[in-house]
Amino acid sequence: MTSDFLVIGGGIAGLSFAIRAAAHGSVTLVCKGELPDSNTAWAQGGIASVLPEGLRDPGDSVDLHVADTLDAGAGLCREDVVRAIVGEGATTIDELVAHGAEFDRDGGGYDLHKEGGHSKRRILHSLDTTGREIANSLIDKARATPGLTILEHHFAIDLITTGKLGAVTEDRVLGAYVLESETGEVKVLRSDRVVLATGGCGKVYLYTTNPDSATGDGVAMAWRAGASVANMEFIQFHPTCFYNPGATGPEARSFLVSEAVRGEGAVLINDRGEDFVKRSDPRGSLAPRDIVARAIDREIKRTGKPCVYLDATRKPPGFFREQFPYIHDKLLDFGLDAEKQPIPVVPAAHYQCGGVVTDIDGKTTVRGLYAIGEVACTGLHGANRLASNSLLEGNVLARRALDHLLHHHPPGKASPEAPSIPDWSHGDTTPPDELVVIYHNWDELRRLMWDYVSIVRTDKRLRRAGTRLKNLRKEVREFYWGHRVNADILELRNLVAVASLVVDCAIRRRESRGLHHTLDYPHLDDRFAKDTILRRF
């Protein structure tokens, strides 16, 4: 199957790109589950944008949004990238609205929220299910777009490149091997223009706000294909994940309480009712996420309590239910009325700030391969993502990547002759009694990452994690090559690869900056005011 553009991933970045690209050539979009399973659909808070005069918060400006982003990024943001992406905020909102997304209004303008790290109200939202609103509108638009083929339940196994096929000329992408999960058939999807939009790697940790699909597939595939990866040590832990140890099921364990709740006045307190975050930062509960998450981690360790609390009870009756109906009703399902009781919360893995190295147009170090959205390391987030910048980045990079491809490698332009692509070679059928190995290794991987490579780190913990990951990689490699592939094997393979990249990057950064905090090097060090770049040779 050949197409002008191959898009892997179906969140805001992949869908935005595919919809626009279909006007210029044939597009195949693959996602390993169903389109609504993306990280985008799970986003509660909103999308950050400085709107035109008359619609924005008084005194807000692109310069202020840039300054807030740079401050959160702790010295590692690329200012030119930040300015370019933030500067396209209003264009992004206009495009999403044109695709059918509806954001909450206040009179003649938009109802703007404020979140941690933002100096002004600039977060557009659709109640507390903004991501779902954006995702649904883009999915509807994509399904109605001529020339766009959507393949759900198709798992991209690996990228195909000239280098992998033995060519000695410049390494470039040729397509991907893709597993059709329901039949077990592995297909060759051929394209000289491949866009990774696979999201993040939250499932590498035991506790995460991400959906089960967030297994770092794009980073792992790009790494195996020879692309450079950077800054994987910077994993953002969302400060407020609902703590409910008695609940069962993945949604109960990873239910996110949006940062917008704090933006509207809720305060983090300990079991004695103390506003403990102000000991770490005068902004208290509205400090950037890295500061708040570390303050919670420190308070839990200091008190020995299993959680802290997010207190919204001081707001007027009905306020929480009106502003955050999804969160309110979900908490009621678990027996908690947030208007009367503080919400027990703990940090959980939320967002990777590093990823596949790209320029401002999503171009990677492998010719023809682009990465957009959370999978990419563009320089926007630096050492810590500013809240609600991610949906903005996904849409802006989709536009820029397409414009760059159309200018430099448009459909119809002759490509250098490529070697023939061999069919996929299967292993033997997996004996059912050996599937327990996969589930055991999955659980062990996520627990060791949570225990050794989470909010606060040490050299000793990182070395232990690295040693065990080396053994896990060997076990998974033997299992992968010895048996017929399925989604479980592929996800475990990718998780082990990404976990190893996180540890390798963390070991190299001998300072504490942004989301990477180590007790062995507790201070900033100007020698490390640069990206942690890993290259395969």
Give the C-alpha distances (Å, rounded to integers) separating 469 from 106, 157, 227, 344.
51, 21, 21, 33
Q: Burial letters for 239-269: b for 16+ Cβ neighbours within 10 Å, e otherwise?
A: bbbbbbeeeeeeeebbbbbbbbbbbbbbbbb
Name the nearest CA neighbour of 235 among 521, 517, 531: 517
The pLDDT assigned to 424 comes to 87
Beta carbons of 517 and 295 less than 8 angstroms apart: no
> In 3-118, which ranges are continuous DSSP H helix?
12-21, 39-42, 62-72, 79-87, 89-98
49 vs 391: CA distance, rounded Å? 10
Q: Return the percent helix, strand and coil in the chain, to nearest 5.
A: 40, 20, 45
Catalytic site residue from 20, 172, 289, 513: 289
d(C-alpha 199, C-alpha 204), whole Å: 13
Q: Determine the Cα–Cα distance for residues 298 and 283; give it in Å rounded to an integer.
A: 17
Q: Please give the Cα distance from 154 to 184 (Å, whole number).
A: 10
* pLDDT digit string, tens, across residues 189-232: 999 999 999 999 999 998 898 888 999 999 999 999 999 999 99
The C-alpha atoms of residue 325 and residue 319 are separated, in whole angstroms, by: 10
Q: Which amino acid is at 281?
A: D
Residues in the chain: 537
Q: What is the pLDDT of residue 392?
A: 97
Per-residue pLDDT of the chain (537 residues; tens, 9 = 90+): 899 999 999 999 999 999 999 999 999 999 999 988 888 888 877 999 999 998 999 999 999 999 999 999 999 999 999 999 999 999 999 999 999 999 999 888 999 999 888 999 999 999 888 999 999 999 999 999 999 999 999 999 999 999 888 766 678 999 999 999 999 899 999 999 999 999 999 999 988 988 889 999 999 999 999 999 999 999 999 999 999 876 655 455 568 898 889 989 999 999 999 999 999 999 999 998 889 999 999 999 899 999 999 999 999 999 999 999 999 999 999 999 999 999 999 999 999 999 999 999 999 999 999 999 999 999 999 999 999 999 999 999 999 999 999 999 999 876 777 778 888 876 656 654 567 778 889 899 999 999 999 999 999 999 999 999 999 999 898 888 878 888 999 999 999 999 999 999 999 999 999 999 999 999 999 999 999 999 986
Residue 289 annotated in active site = yes
Percent of the chain with pLDDT over 90: 77
Amino acid at 20: R
> Which pLDDT does position 245 carry in this prediction?
78
Sorted by where each starts, the structural domains of the chain and their CATH numbers stand as 235-350 (3.90.700.10)
| Cβ atoms within 10 Å, residue 340 | 10
Phi, psi of 428 (to 5 degrees): -75, 165
> Would you state the structure tokens that stand for residue 146, as one six-digit string?
């001529």
504-518 confidence digits (pLDDT tens): 999 999 999 999 999
